[in-house]
Amino acid sequence: MNLLAHATLSRPQGRNERISTVRVLALEMPGGDTTATAARHVVTLQVTQLKAGVVAQVDDSTLTPLPQALEPARQRALAYLRQRLGAGDVLQSHEGFAELDAEAGPAPSPGQAPGQAAVPPGLPESAVQAGAISALCKRLDGSAWRLMPSGQQARLVWRLAEYADPARGGAAQRLLHAQVPRLVALLGTGDDLLDYCLAYLIGRLGDGGAAVALQALSQRGTSEATRDLAHQAWLALLEPQERQAALQEYQAQWAGIPPQENGPKEDGPQAEQAFFQALGPQALLAADALGAHDGAVHQQLLAWMERIPFTRAWWPALRRIHKRAEWRRDHALLAVLHARFDGPRDEGAVFSRDTSLYLRLRGWRQLRRMASADHSESAAHAAALLQAMDRRCAGQPASRSGRLPESRWLLAARLLLPRWPQLHASARAHTWYTDEPLDLQQLPAQRVEGLSAMWDAHPGQLLQLVGRSQSPLLLWSLTRALQDQKAFLDGLDAAATAPLLHKTYAPAAALGLQIAQQRMVSLTDDAARRPWLLALAQCGDGPAASYLGAWLSRDRAGAARDAELVAALLLSPAASSRTQGLALLFYADGAAVALALLAALPTLDTESPALADIRDAVQALFDGNGPLAAQAASVPAPPLHHLLAHSVTALVEMATAWLLAHPQGLRTLPPAALRGLLES
For 598-629, the pLDDT digits (tens) are 999 999 998 899 999 999 999 999 998 899 99
Residue 536 and residue 630 in one domain:
yes
Residue 576 and residue 643 in one domain:
yes
So what's the pLDDT on residue 674? Answer: 75
Under the banding of pLDDT at 50, 70 and 90, the label for residue 54 is: confident
Q: How far apart are CA 166 and CA 121, in angstroms?
A: 7
Residue 253 domain-assigned? no
3-state class (DSSP) for residue 616: helix
Give 20's strand partners: 9, 47
Give 177's strand partners: none
In this model, does residue 223 exceed pLDDT 60? yes
Q: How far apart are CA 115 and CA 620, in angstroms?
A: 47
Chain-centroid distance of CA 196 in Å reads 33
Residue 70 and residue 179 in one domain:
no
**Predicted confidence (pLDDT) per residue in 165-174, tens digit:** 988 888 999 9
In this model, does residue 262 exceed pLDDT 60? no
Domain-ending residue, one of 246, 273, 296? 246
Residue 529 and residue 638 in one domain:
yes
Residue 423 domain-assigned? no
Highest mean pLDDT: which range of 95-104, 299-308, 344-353: 299-308
Residue 206 domain-assigned? yes
Under the banding of pLDDT at 50, 70 and 90, the label for residue 264 is: very low
In this model, does residue 265 exceed pLDDT 50? no
Least confident of 117-126, 374-383, 591-600, 608-617: 117-126
In this model, does residue 107 exceed pLDDT 70? no
Sequence-distant (6+) residues with CB within 8 A of 407 are 431, 432, 433
So what's the pLDDT on residue 260? Answer: 41
What domain range includes position 566?
Answer: 521-679
Query: Could you give the number of structural domains in the chain?
Result: 3
Residue 671 domain-assigned? yes
* Beta carbons within 10 angstroms of residue 182's beta carbon: 13
Q: What is the mean pLDDT of residues 401-409?
A: 87
So what's the pLDDT on residue 624? Answer: 85
Residue 83 and residue 132 in one domain:
no
Give 17's strand partners: 12, 50
3-state class (DSSP) for residue 376: coil
Residue 66 and residue 183 in one domain:
no
Q: How far apart are CA 513 and CA 599, in angstroms?
A: 27
Residue 163 domain-assigned? yes
DSSP string, 130-152: HHHHHHHHHTTSHHHHHTS-HHH
Residue 85 and residue 167 in one domain:
no
Highest mean pLDDT: which range of 26-35, 307-316, 506-515: 506-515
Q: What is the mean pLDDT of residues 142-153?
A: 91
Measuring CA to CA, which residue among 57, 70, 71, 81 is closest to residue 8?
81
Average pLDDT of the chain, as a whole number: 89
Backbone angles phi, psi at 539, to 5 degrees: -85, 150
Output the CA angle 220-226-227, nearest 5 degrees: 45
Residue 664 domain-assigned? yes
Residue 622 and residue 559 in one domain:
yes
Residue 528 domain-assigned? yes
Domain-ending residue, one of 185, 211, 246? 246
Under the banding of pLDDT at 50, 70 and 90, the label for residue 268 is: low
Backbone angles phi, psi at 465, to 5 degrees: -65, -45
So what's the pLDDT on residue 14? Answer: 62
**Predicted confidence (pLDDT) per residue in 411-442, tens digit:** 999 999 999 999 998 776 678 888 888 999 99
* Beta carbons within 10 angstroms of residue 325's beta carbon: 23
Under the banding of pLDDT at 50, 70 and 90, the label for residue 119 is: low
Whole-Å CA distances, 622 to 3, 73, 257, 503, 645: 35, 27, 52, 31, 20
Residue 47 and residue 183 in one domain:
no
Domain-ending residue, one of 246, 278, 294? 246
Under the banding of pLDDT at 50, 70 and 90, the label for residue 102 is: low
In this model, does residue 20 exceed pLDDT 70? yes
* Beta carbons within 10 angstroms of residue 282's beta carbon: 10
Residue 92 and residue 56 in one domain:
yes
Sequence-distant (6+) residues with CB within 8 A of 3 are 23, 24, 25
Residue 547 and residue 637 in one domain:
yes
Residue 533 and residue 594 in one domain:
yes
Q: How far apart are CA 656 and CA 640, in angstroms?
A: 8
Residue 398 domain-assigned? no
In this model, does residue 540 exceed pLDDT 60? yes
